[in-house]
Amino acid sequence: MFESPPFWMYLLGFVLLLGPLVTLHELGHLLVGRWFGVEAEAFSVGFGKEIAGFTDKRGTRWKLSALPLGGYVQFRGDMNPASVPDPHAPVEEGSFQAAALWKRALIVAAGPVTNLLLAILIFAGFFAIIGKPVIVGVEDSRTIGAFAEGSVAQAAGMEVGDVIVAIDRQPVRDFTELKTRVALHPGKRMIFTLEREGDRIDLPVTTASAERRDNFGNVSTEGLIGIAPAGGKYEIEKVGIFEAIPLGVKQSWDLTSMMITGIRQIVTGERSVKELGGPLKIAKYSGEQLSMGAAAFIHFAALISLNLAFINFLPIPALDGGHLMFYAAEAIRRKPVGPQATEWAYRTGIALVLMLMAVVTVNDIIALPIFGS
């Protein structure tokens, strides 16, 4: 177990994490907007009252605001920081609404795309510097070599020598993917497709549910079936930059798939809503990762950057994905959504975001040590 970092390290980690990620996200919007000739009235890191700022020669107010939970770019023609179109603003050259539909879509998408590209580049950098883990010394790592005591796989009828080729009809490439897929589904009935002496067998197995604690005492719940591969060991294989980039893309895709699975499980009740974390939990984890060194902190930043990209692409009004949803409707209808419908949609979206923030903040507070967690 590691000692908990001092309080100042949580604050420093939070600032060093969200500050650059939010700034890069908003810079994505701003730079693409300027590229297309759209004027920006304000660029803010944080929300609420301005703490410090300056106005550049283009008339854009750059500012640091009091609530460090995000940021925004307010373009000419926006009614507020949520980028709700101002129905009374004139549609003239330089305003956001005067830009072609495809340009507006690219400006909005540029923020989360910047976060996504950053995550890919960081993951690719780790692969290029460290290498990729591979299992060597075994022909097929999906082959079962042994069972743990009390293995649910053995109890369900799996045997040593069986090769697990699919889970829930989805192919499995290696033992690492098998382990990851099972870990995402604690206590769930899954169908394992096995190859045994030339035959294929579909075997239902209900995964066990286990609590894991990391070096700082953080608890997570994961599924397991109690198997080990038939021989082999992990080694690090060096890769070049041209191979590292596709590996970074693949890791980003795999992690995004895990996020989607986690959200679906929370919606369907398979996982508790208590597993959702907010700014306090991000501050906690960022301080812990910072205390472990630059490499751990940068890797964690890539995870959060990927989360920011994913969340902002959700089709919720007030988020980037909500704007893109309106643009899709505009493209189909060949005219913008009416101002009244737009206003109510954004009000609903903002209410949903605030409700989610309230839930995750309550979760964070309950998880504090003073409440016995």
| CA gap 117, 197 in Å, rounded | 45
CB 289 within 8 A of CB 296: yes
Query: Distance between CA atoms of 328 and 110, rounded to whole angstroms?
Result: 16
Beta bridge partners of 71: 45
pLDDT, average across residues 253-270: 87
Return d(Cα 22, Cα 210) in angstroms, integer.
Answer: 35
pLDDT at 372: 47
What's the rounded Cα separation, in Å, for the pair 120 and 133? 17
- From CA 75, how far away is CA 80, in angstroms rounded? 9
Active site residue 26: yes
Rounded to an integer, the average pLDDT of 33-44 is 94
Domains, the chain, in order of start with CATH, read 7-131+276-371 (no CATH), 132-237 (2.30.42.10)
Of 26, 39, 270, 288, which is the active-site residue? 26
Higher pLDDT, 30 or 265: 30
pTM of model > 0.75? yes
306-315: pLDDT as tens digits: 999 999 999 9
- How high is the pLDDT of residue 371? 47
Highest average pLDDT, of 115-124, 210-219, 357-366, comes from 115-124
Please state, in angstroms and as integers, the Cα–Cα distance from residue 44 to each residue in 50, 59, 63, 66, 198, following that order: 9, 14, 5, 10, 63
Q: How is 236-268 classified by DSSP, letter by letter?
A: EE---HHHHHHHHHHHHHHHHHHHHHHHHHHHH
Other C-beta atoms closer than 10 Å to the C-beta of 263 total: 15
